Structure 1
Amino acid sequence: MTARTRRFTGRFHAPRSLRKQLLVTSLLILSGLLILIGTLQYVLMRNFIYSNRAEAMETQIRSVPFEIFNNAGNRRPGGDRRPLLLDAHTTLAIYNQDGGFMDLKEETLSASPAPRMSNEAYDQLLKLPQDKRGGNYQLITAGDGSGHLAVFMNLGRPGAARMLLQMTVETGPLRDVILQQLLIFGALSVAALLAGLLLYLPTLRKTLVPLSNMGRSAQIIDAGNLNVRFPEEQGQLEIDQLSQSFNGMLERLEISFKNEREAKEQMRRFAADASHELRTPLTSIYGFLEVLLRGAADNREQLYSALSSMHGEAKRINKLVEDLLLLARMDGAPRLQVKQVLLGELIDDMQAQLRVLAGERQVVFDLAYGIRCLVDPDQIRQVLLNLFHNAVQHTDAVKGIIHISLHAAGELAELTVKDNGSGISAEHLPHVFDRFYRSDSSRTRKYGGSGLGLSITRSIAEAHHGEVTVSSAPGEGAAFKVSLPCLRD
């Protein structure tokens, strides 16, 4: 049974088109409302017509001559009597308290006999006060199945037998009037539905145009084409808000995909550069080992020279690995051991070490003391060493001058390392903080640089909610400035 029901209902799928769904739903709602209105109209019209007819019948029943009731029991065949001028569908009858029922069909010339209720129903009406019987009506079903509208009047007098006068009229003509009105209402409702349908279809089509536009835009959008945007001003507030939300999501997705592509490209370059940087010293070490294996180990001078070179290359590898590990930690969740530090005093303690690294170069310090910052002191030392080492690499060993300055600028502490080296050309400036980027690879390799020092410097500065910038011109040296938040006294 269930399978049959599913097969039967499966043939009648709900329309999948939103336009058709809205149209069918609207028609069903309007049809339901019209049916409800028609039902209420039928009930109200029926009560109104029956009530009006009952009031007219009460007026008629009061105008019936009383002598008809007195002579009703003394009928004689062929006797002269004046019939009542009533409708052919109207009947009169008398019910007395003894259970007798007299049909006054001859007096009314009615086309049908008077319908009769049960004696219990009549007795209940006789028990009612006279003023309670007026203004009400009852529906009676005759023996032939026809319906009748009945009103009653008490004929009893004080001291006399109580009688009840019944006047009825067939409800068929009244129902015909009601049905005629309902048919008119139904025809007008169908016409209204058709007219509404003709007017509603263009409006519905126009209303769904923004959704169609969004659908076409969505078909164009894919992972490689995220620059398409939904139209945001189509005249419908809800659709416009939805378009704005989707556009915001697409913008975030586009940025995410762009960052992912850049990250993949950076990772590819990083892997390639790291492999190259590791391969170079390993190749040198391998070459020296081959030389030693061929007999150079027996020559003390050649052995010492080879071991010294291999030691230098091993130091380069060790430095490169340490820098890579530090960058990996900074790229993830850097763990800084921050505390309040006086930057001027920290740099002042490093003067001796920096002068040793500078060799014969001139080092000038311009430090403002008392600048307090919340930093990791070891990381800040690393930043200064990286910048100073970079300045040493790009300045003359004798004529080189390196300026180190520290000053407060509002809520920032600005540490600047400036040199009088060869400078950096404009095309290299945007890339100086990229990993493994070297504007002069031969000079950097000579001094053992890995191309990661400036990248590490930027990562450390950003981890402290600061930044590092560079300004330079060819032949005028370079100035690297690190800005860090400082604490107010």
Structure 2
Amino acid sequence: MIPRISGLIYRLAAPRSLRKQLLAISILILSGLLLLIGVLQYFLMRDFIYSNRAKSMETQIRSVPHELFFNFLTYTSDGNGKNAGPKIPSGGLRSDGNRRPLLLDAHTTIAIYSSDGTFRDFQQETLSDSTAPRLSDEEYKQLLVHTTERATGKYKLITAEDGSEHLAVFMSLGRPGNAKLLLQMSVDTGPLSDVIMQQLLIFAALSLVALLAGLFMYLPALRKTLIPLSNMGETAHIIDAGNLDVRFPVEQGQNEIDKLALSFNSMLERLEISFHNEREAKEQMRRFAADASHELRTPLTSIHGFLEVLLRGAADNKEQLYNSLHAMHGESKRINKLVEDLLLLARMDGAPQLRVKELLLGEIISEMQPHLLVLAGNRKVIFDISNGISGKYDPDKIKQVILNLFHNAVQHTDPEKGTIYVAMPVRNAHVEVTIRDNGSGISAEHLPHIFDRFYRSDSSRTRKYGGSGLGLSITKSIVEAHGGEIKASSEPGTGTSFTITLPYLKN
């Protein structure tokens, strides 16, 4: 239940704007850094001030002659004349009883601890406002063992009886044959703490000013930084299926945004190509259905007309009956050929099944030469075939390709002056089969569409040569199924050249 409530509070409190989120996160991070710096500054500054104060106190102690401190003590002896240890006098710094106070500030205290456990506070001599804080005897004994006369800068914090904190430094004093003494100088840390707190307040005020100034300067910079992202949002808002050619702006000065824009542009380019291909496919399907319907309607209409003539009595006339049956037979063959071509194209569009085997391409063309010469009639045919070129081909499909192209050349060349050139050169890793004629040629506006299904140029729409406009489409599909390609070049009045490029096996 509690995690759900906290999650709801976060969703309600968290800003939805990216700019506000970045601003809030920046403020939190900056505030955390300033807080961390303040905490570190407090401890580091306190240690630094305390260490400096301890060094100055040690320097001050060393500046006072040690004899002065020994005069604080009067040595007496017992009845046997032996030294009985130090005896603390009632007061005074000199043996003549005259008092001379040390020049120390009112918060500094001096005390001496003897190894026999005697502790003497020189509050009267130093005119200090407070008494010297005292440690336990165990602590003093440990200090007597480890403390030397050299200045080290080490200090110890002592809590007095009234609860105040004092900074104390220690120095060992002693003479040969006498008891070892420990000199203690301490100072109240209240004024030092006030200095530290004052500096922390100054730091807090400067941090607050820097935070506010940074925010006022950060907001315009953040707004300017997010301009490229806003531009991408505006561009994405206007893109739809109708204007996929719009691209996101690139090179806006931010590498991440530029990479994102390039990725989106690549995606839009792929979408545009996909939509374009889909529209082209729909358009081709529409044209295909219209052309196929037109091609099938013409022979069916012709057959239907002949049947009506026969039903009206022409069947009684043998000559008319024979002519009608002969015409209907021709139209039925035409329909059958069209249906076979459509089925072949459907199989080639799907998963073309080729019965390939290794054979010599030149031998296939040589076998077709008699048939091609018969189709050419009085036209001149020139063969330039390279022998020994082998590859994996479907012989029936290759023959159909050559026959379709050769038949196309025959249809568009003069029966008496026409010349057809069949060549098979080898180019690098491919073999080419070229069929060129000197016929009427194909105009430039029709040349890019000659491999489209049911496409025929205006000059051939008269059906002078028959055909359904599927021959070149079938030829292209067969060539591509063999891993090759077909190209056409033509100049009106000069002739047309078809070049087939096929892979072959190198010996």
Indicate whether 1:219 and 2:237 are aligned. Answer: yes
Deviation at 1:24, TM superposition (A): 3.8
Match of 2:463 among 429, 434, 443: 443
The residue number in structure 2 matching 1:85 is 103
Deviation at 1:303, TM superposition (A): 6.4
Alignment partner of 1:482: what SS? strand
Indicate whether 1:253 and 2:268 are aligned. Answer: no
Instruction: Answer whether contact 1:284 1:310 (CA < 8 A) is retained.
Output: yes
Residues 118 and 277 from structure 1, CA distance in 2 versus in 1: closer, same or farther, beyond 3 angstroms? farther
After TM superposition, the score normalised by the length of structure 2 is 0.81
Measured in 2, the distance between the counterparts of 1:47 and 1:22 equals 37
Deviation at 1:154, TM superposition (A): 3.1
User: Bigger shift: 203-212 or 134-143?
Assistant: 203-212
User: Bigger shift: 296-305 or 33-42?
Assistant: 296-305
Match of 1:68 among 67, 72, 79: 72
Instruction: Answer whether contact 1:134 1:153 (CA < 8 A) is retained.
Output: no
Alignment partner of 1:255: what SS? helix
Deviation at 1:454, TM superposition (A): 0.9
- How big is each residue's C-alpha offset from its partner over 1:417-470, in whole Å with a ceiling of 9 and x where there is no partner? 4264x55444433322210112334426x74x2210011122233443232304
- How big is each residue's C-alpha offset from its partner over 1:265-303, in whole Å with a ceiling of 9 and x where there is no partner? 112211222233334444555666677788888887776
> Aligned-residue CA RMSD in angstroms?
3.6
Q: Letter of the 2:221 partner, please give it.
A: T
Instruction: Answer whether contact 1:297 1:303 (CA < 8 A) is retained.
Output: yes
- How big is each residue's C-alpha offset from its partner over 1:129-181, in whole Å with a ceiling of 9 and x where there is no partner? 53588542100122332211011233454444444332211001111112222
Measured in 2, the distance between the counterparts of 1:457 and 1:326 equals 11
Measured in 2, the distance between the counterparts of 1:95 and 1:174 equals 26
Measured in 1, the distance between the counterparts of 2:451 and 2:295 equals 17
Residues 3 and 238 from structure 1, CA distance in 2 versus in 1: closer, same or farther, beyond 3 angstroms? closer
Instruction: Answer whether contact 1:371 1:486 (CA < 8 A) is retained.
Output: no
Measured in 2, the distance between the counterparts of 1:484 and 1:419 equals 24
Residues 371 and 269 from structure 1, CA distance in 2 versus in 1: closer, same or farther, beyond 3 angstroms? farther
Instruction: Answer whether contact 1:344 1:406 (CA < 8 A) is retained.
Output: no
Measured in 1, the distance between the counterparts of 2:27 and 2:7 equals 26
The residue number in structure 1 matching 2:112 is 94
Instruction: Answer whether contact 1:461 1:468 (CA < 8 A) is retained.
Output: no
The residue number in structure 1 matching 2:50 is 50
The residue number in structure 2 matching 1:461 is 479
Matching of residues 3-42 of structure 1 within 5 Å? 3-14=4-15, 16-17=17-18, 19-42=19-42
User: Bigger shift: 362-371 or 84-93?
Assistant: 362-371
Deviation at 1:40, TM superposition (A): 3.4
Instruction: Answer whether contact 2:113 2:120 (CA < 8 A) is retained.
Output: yes
Match of 1:372 among 389, 399, 402: 389
Measured in 2, the distance between the counterparts of 1:459 and 1:81 equals 125
The residue number in structure 1 matching 2:452 is 434
Instruction: Answer whether contact 2:422 2:435 (CA < 8 A) is retained.
Output: yes
The residue number in structure 2 matching 1:138 is 156
Indicate whether 1:118 and 2:113 are aligned. Answer: no
Measured in 1, the distance between the counterparts of 2:347 and 2:150 equals 100
Measured in 1, the distance between the counterparts of 2:293 and 2:267 equals 38
The residue number in structure 2 matching 1:328 is 346
- Segments of structure 1 that go 5 or more residues without pairing to the other structure are none
Q: Letter of the 2:11 partner, please give it.
A: G
Alignment partner of 1:130: what SS? coil
Measured in 1, the distance between the counterparts of 2:408 and 2:362 equals 21
Alignment partner of 1:94: what SS? strand
Residues 116 and 65 from structure 1, CA distance in 2 versus in 1: closer, same or farther, beyond 3 angstroms? closer
Measured in 2, the distance between the counterparts of 1:307 and 1:300 equals 10
Count of aligned positions: 481
- How big is each residue's C-alpha offset from its partner over 1:16-67, in whole Å with a ceiling of 9 and x where there is no partner? 32x3444444444444444444333333322222122112222333425322
Deviation at 1:85, TM superposition (A): 2.8
Measured in 2, the distance between the counterparts of 1:433 and 1:362 equals 25
Q: Letter of the 1:443 partner, please give it.
A: R
Match of 1:382 among 384, 389, 400: 400
The residue number in structure 1 matching 2:3 is 2
- Segments of structure 2 that go 5 or more residues without pairing to the other structure are 75-85
Residues 365 and 342 from structure 1, CA distance in 2 versus in 1: closer, same or farther, beyond 3 angstroms? farther
Residues 96 and 65 from structure 1, CA distance in 2 versus in 1: closer, same or farther, beyond 3 angstroms? closer
Residues 120 and 318 from structure 1, CA distance in 2 versus in 1: closer, same or farther, beyond 3 angstroms? farther
- How big is each residue's C-alpha offset from its partner over 1:301-356, in whole Å with a ceiling of 9 and x where there is no partner? 77665655454344333322322232233334544455554444322211232344
